[in-house]
Amino acid sequence: MIEPTPLVSMDLRAYVRPTLTNDWLWGGDLATIHQTIEHGIRWEGTGETRSSTMPGFAGIWDSVELDAIASHVLSFTGKGESSALGAQLYADNCVSCHGSDGAGDRAQGAPALNDAIWLYGGTREDIRDQVLHPRHGVMPEWQSRLDPVTIKMLAAYVHSLGGGENFVEAPVEETADTPDATE
Amino acid sequence: MPPSDEDAPLVVEGGVAKTNAPVSSAVAEPEATTLRHEPHEPARTHLPAKLYDARKTVHNKRIDGPFRRFKWAVMVITLAIYYVTPWLRWDRGPFTPDQAVLVDLANRRFYMFDIEIWPHEFYFVAGLLIMAGIGLFLVTSAVGRAWCGYACPQTVWTDLYQHIDRLIDGDRNARIRLEAAPWTFGKVMRRAFKWSIYLAIAFATGGAWILYFADAPTLLREFFSLQAAPVAYATVGVLTATTFTLGGFMREQVCIYMCPWPRIQTAMLDEKSLIVTYKDWRGEPRASLKKAERKPGQFGDCIDCTQCVQVCPTGIDIREGPQIGCITCALCIDACDKVMADIGRPRGLIDYATLEASERQAAGEPAQPAWKALLRLRTIVYFLIWASIGFALLFMLGARSRTELTVSPDRNPPYMLMRDGSVRNSYTLKLRNMRGEPREMEVEIEGLPGGVMWTDSIALAEAAVAQRFEVPADLVKTVRVYVMAPSSTTTQEFSFRLTSLDAERETDEVETRFDAPGVTP
């Protein structure tokens, strides 16, 4: 019995690339995608790059507190039992970005914690690791390497991969005179 | 007068003794006729002094008769079909071309009146080619090389060019004199004039060919305003050159030396096929009228007037028996019948006859009507095969669907996870609309519980079990489709069902696979 091997943006622990389905860190409408491609994420040297930094808690929380926070995070998806300590720690340290129900905040690029998509893994161990030593993925900016038209086409393409949000009505195409879908 | 051994010396060739006697001697003896269709070396009128024999121009004489009129009719009909067909119009609505017969290579469509063939239906063309092959078997086994004699383009165009010769230079004798004459100014001018007409016909032939591949009036205008595609000029150039050369100058040499058909057709003839036959048992020995009057009863019906040789478009002597140079156009029958009528002897000294009938007649049995040779097991079986392929093609043509769906799942990645843990697969669908008007089609997921789909232009929020698409006229629409199923879904088969939302309600169903994490069944 062989499972199909996921290769791209599937096994997130191994590849650490965001999916482009419907889980958007910064937003999935055309303008947001376009800006992300133009300026990148955490890319030094451009002022408009998207930036968010989760602080690490190594040396601040002990093992019991880490377990409590991981349990509380897992409780959003019903995989853990929250405790008073966990809820308190979450409310004091995490809620401003990730929200009280773990929905995340696109304005800050804070990932949702209440869904099935985990950028750096969704097990208790993965969550503890991320709280202790947060990893911050980097995406380069493309505006200095691709021309504006290409970036627009790229944004439209990413938007078309099934997770696009806020569709705009396409103008009526004149297919009769310009047949482009010939076999 | 049968030749004696003294004037026909034996020659040993490859260990086989052969005689140099005239051909008629081979059949002058009664017993020789019993070997008519046995593989024996025909006697030759002369042994070649050298292997290469320069071509002798054929100046065929004008003749009239039933076969010549039939040949005229075939020529007029085939040339008319060739030159007129591209100009016929056929209304197919606003989305498809209105040329009745059009091979649209650029858009990969073949139009023939009400029939439109797409590349994936090429088996119709294959079927027609098979019918042409079987049809050739049928015609050849029944009436010999009728294709060569009447319908082959080489024959038709050669015939056309020979008529031009006759029109410009006069009949056989005038042409022979002109060919032998020195190259005076008059002859040069006459030749230049004739060859210009050759060239004009050749150009019209090559020019008509390209009209089958594009809209004829448009292409003609583009062609003469030098705006047509280079391949159009190249095609016309090549076909003009080949028509000019093959039809104007090489003529019967194409049939005798270049063409494979005579060899193949010769192999398909049998002793029951009708071929143009000189009835040597009736004609031999030959003698002029005067000679025959002096010694009545000693000679056959052939008066050696050589009319049959003079009218032959390939320049052979049919009295030497069946040969590769004979295209069975039957003009010699017309010529001989005319002579026989003039001298008061019965017609048919040269006639369509089978080898079998020839043997019987040579043995003294009465002749049977030629049409009886047409009805026999072999021709009937060929006809039945030919007709059943034709009916099968017609049936398929009537029953074919003008709608089709193809599905190719994305292989990489096989699935993706959604926020809520649902599994998503992606597919490329091709919706084929072979009708000449745009159609709305619905694609529905079947056999995938909880499955919904959306596309790159239909948002996830509008995902549903079925989606509708507008497919343009006469085209294939390609759509990327995303299918989402609940997280509990395992890898399984399901299908897409396509339904055209018009009066026909044509459907197509394609089974494909939904991949999911978890254990593969």
> Which chain B residues have a beta carbon less than 8 Å from that of A4?
414-415, 491, 515, 520
User: In this predicted structure, what is the pLDDT of residue B478?
Assistant: 94
Residues 6+ apart with CB under 8 A from B147: B136, B139, B140, B261, B265
What is the H or E stretch that residue B202 is in? helix B185-210
pLDDT at position B497 is 95
Query: Of A34 and A176, which is predicted with more confidence?
Result: A34
Q: Do the Cβ atoms of A176 and B472 come within 8 Å? A: yes
Q: Which of residues 159-178 of A touch B (CB under 8 A)?
A: 160-165, 167, 170, 175-176
What separation in angstroms does the CA of B460 have from each of A92, A163, B358, B394, B463? 36, 7, 84, 46, 5
Percent of chain A exceeding pLDDT 90 equals 51
* Pick from B423, B446, B441: nearest CA to B479: B441
pLDDT of B46 reads 60
What is the model's pLDDT at position A175?
A: 47
* Amino acid B5: pLDDT: 43
**In whole numbers, what is the pLDDT of chain A averaged over residues?**
82
Q: Quick one: tokens of B367?
A: 């002749």
Chain length of chain A: 183
User: How far does the CA of residue B124 sit from the closest CA of chain A (Å)?
Assistant: 19
**Contact at 8 Å (CB) between B441 and B403?**
yes
- DSSP H helices, A104-169, are 124-132, 148-159
3-state secondary structure at position B268:
helix
pLDDT tens digits, residue range B312-337? 999 999 998 888 889 999 999 999 99
Contact indicator for B228, B206 with CB cutoff of 8 Å: no
Q: Is B108 on the interface with A (CB under 8 A)?
A: yes
Contact A181 B475 (CB under 8 A): yes
CA dist., res. A18 & res. B13, Å (int):
89
pLDDT band at A119 (very low <50, low <70, confident <90, very high): confident
> Given this model, what pLDDT does residue A117 score?
87
What token pair was written down for B205?
């032939």
Q: What is the pLDDT of residue A95?
A: 93
10-residue stretch averages of pLDDT, chain B, 521 residues long:
47 52 44 46 61 83 93 95 94 89 91 90 92 91 89 94 92 91 92 95 94 94 93 95 94 91 85 89 86 85 91 91 89 94 91 88 81 85 96 92 92 84 92 91 94 88 92 92 92 94 90 81 43
Q: How many CA atoms lie within 13 A of B364 on its CB side?
A: 2
Tokens 């791209």, located at residue: A8
CA–CA gap between residue B148 and residue B327 (Å, rounded): 5
Q: Please, are residues A176 and B473 in contact by the beta-carbon 8 Å criterion? A: yes
- pLDDT band at A12, cuts 50/70/90? very low
List CB contacts (< 8 A) between A104 and chain B.
Answer: none
> Measured between alpha carbons, how far is residue B399 from residues B393, B476, B506 in Å?
10, 20, 12
ipTM entry: 0.74
Question: What pLDDT is stored for residue A154 in this prediction?
Answer: 94
Asked if residue A84 lies in contact with residue A76, where contact means CB atoms within 8 angstroms, the answer is no
pLDDT digits (tens, 9 = 90+) for A27-52: 889 999 999 999 999 998 878 899 98
Distance from CA of B108 to the nearest CA of A (A): 8
Predicted pLDDT at B26: 41
CB contact under 8 A, B454 and A117: no
pLDDT in the model for residue B101: 94
What secondary structure letter does DSSP report for A111?
P
Instruction: State the pLDDT confidence band at A13, using cuts at 50, 70 and 90.
Output: very low
Whether chain B has a CB inside 8 Å of the CB on A59: the answer is no
What tokens were used for B364?
A: 């003294």
Report which DSSP code applies to B464: B
